[in-house]
Amino acid sequence: MKIGFSKTALPLAGAVIAPVFEDADPTAAHAVLDAATSGALAKAIKAADFSGKKGRVLDLVGLQGMESARIVIIGAGKRADFSLLDAEALGGDAIGPILKTRAKSAVFALDGFSTDAVPAGDAAARIALGALLKSYRFDKYRTRLEQDQKPALEKLTINTPTANAKTKFAELEKIAEGVAFTRDLVSEPPNVLYPESFAARCKELEALGVKVTVLGEKEMQKLGMHMLLGVGQGSARESKLVAMEWMGGKKGAAPVAFVGKGVCFDTGGISLKPGPGMDEMKWDMGGAGAVAGAIKAIAGRKAKANVVGVIGLVENMPDGAAQRPGDIVRSMSGQTVEILNTDAEGRLVLGDAVWWTQEKYKPKTMVDLATLTGAILIALASEYAGLFTQDDKLADQLQQAARTSGDPLWRMPLARAHFDMIKSDVADMKNIGPREGGSSTAAAFIGKFVKDGQSWAHLDIAGTAWNKKDKPTCPKGGAGFGVRLLDEFVRANCE
């Protein structure tokens, strides 16, 4: 869908979308539409008892004077409460009904729509962003779509007199491209997306000026990455480690590093998962997908910061050569790990990846993302990702980035007791703790590979990487969670 901005007169045909506040006078655009319908619009709104409450949609067709038009009125809630994220949600909610029609073009009527906190240009740009994010589809493998199931909307025009809306949207569009990249990666089936092909997709980012390095099993063997390699040793697919460097900041300055878990498919290995729902384990590379999408967004908007993305890519399969419960492996750091459950594999991948990242880049800050534990779903459902860190300043920075970006975080405990729970009788540590506090002990395991003095946080995104129902700015499916969070973190703290 192509998005454009126009200051010309509002068209009175086709699909027209007009937002209204619950507690404010109608906008100038709304008044134009009402006049064009000789007051029929106002009568229809009154008859429907439409109040302008947030998210409520009134879809009107064939009103007098605009018989060939579809008018969508959407509530924006109370004017004083309206935020940038509300503008995005409004854009997504409003475009939803249009996407279900055969309309090829639509117009947002925004003349006069703004608040003191959200000026007209920002409102227009964020509404466009919300509509763009909501219009995402993954139809790559659907060959028998009925005509009315195929996307028809080709062009969305934001009708606003504000001159700077287009400029503001240009950067937001690059972020949306990063989100879409992650959604594509998470949505791909595991026979298409595996370590080698995932690495190839990352190489595409070189067109944006990103330096991409791919390590294979021979290189990782020499480095001593036996935790990561142990996870993938039962797969016919070769494991990979990918580093993506965007050096847009001061030359030689230490970068911020994002590290992602990329288990392209997780059977659980010898500790085999139950069959029902195992197909969902193609999402277990969501952390790596978020890191790749964030690098795309950051490079796409030419961020003035040094940022590195590192992802460990493996498949966890139950082959005859697969890792066994009871095995002891040596990590790149030299620490030994007793494997008690081969389905606790993501932390093994991340342990070697975060150690290598510190050795290679000496980052000033490091954040890892992973679809790591089912326990985080029990604690937070799919409403928040879990934030684990012992660095209060970094926690505050990430939570502020979460509030601004709309990728919500909830800080979880990470204490000495959680580290003690993973002590092993026969090795330096074991890869699982007790049933209680499972997300915290998983975070503690990764923390065992973080060097003293290193600023670090772990984000458990197991409940947020995939949406099982439509949301205002995201259709059902891959959410792209983490891309906007990481981009905002860089914007606020590194540029």
Which residues are catalytic, by number? 273, 347
DSSP 8-state symbol, 254: P
Structure tokens at 329: 């492996």
Torsion sign (Cα): 260, 264, 269, 273 = positive
Question: 171-202 as b/e, with b when 16 or more CB fall inside 10 Å?
Answer: bbbbbbbbbbbbbbbbbbebeebbbebbbebb
Give kind and range of the element (H or E) at residue 122: helix 120-134
Angstrom distance (rounded) from CA 330 to CA 445 = 14
Torsion sign (Cα): 24, 25, 28, 32 = positive
Concatenating the DSSP letter of every residue in 383-452 gives: T-EEEE-S-HHHHHHHHHHHHHHT--EEE----HHHHHTT--SSSSEES---STTHHHHHHHHHHTTSPT
Judging by beta carbons within 10 Å of its beta carbon (0-12, 13-18, 19+), is residue 435 exposed, middle or buried?
exposed
Side-chain-facing half-sphere of 10: CA atoms under 13 Å: 27
Torsion sign (Cα): 313, 318, 319, 320 = positive
The answer to whether the CB of 284 falls within 8 A of the CB of 309 is no
Which amino acid is it at 40?
A
Concatenating the DSSP letter of every residue in 165-208 gives: HHHHHHHHHHHHHHHHHHHHHHHS-TTT-SHHHHHHHHHGGGGG
Angstrom distance (rounded) from CA 189 to CA 207 = 25
User: Which residues lie below 8 Å from residue 232, measured CB to CB, with a gap of 6+?
Assistant: 195, 217, 238, 239, 314, 315, 316
Which amino acid is it at 314?
V
Structure tokens at 228: 């990561």
Structure tokens at 414: 């990470």
The answer to whether the CB of 307 falls within 8 A of the CB of 315 is no
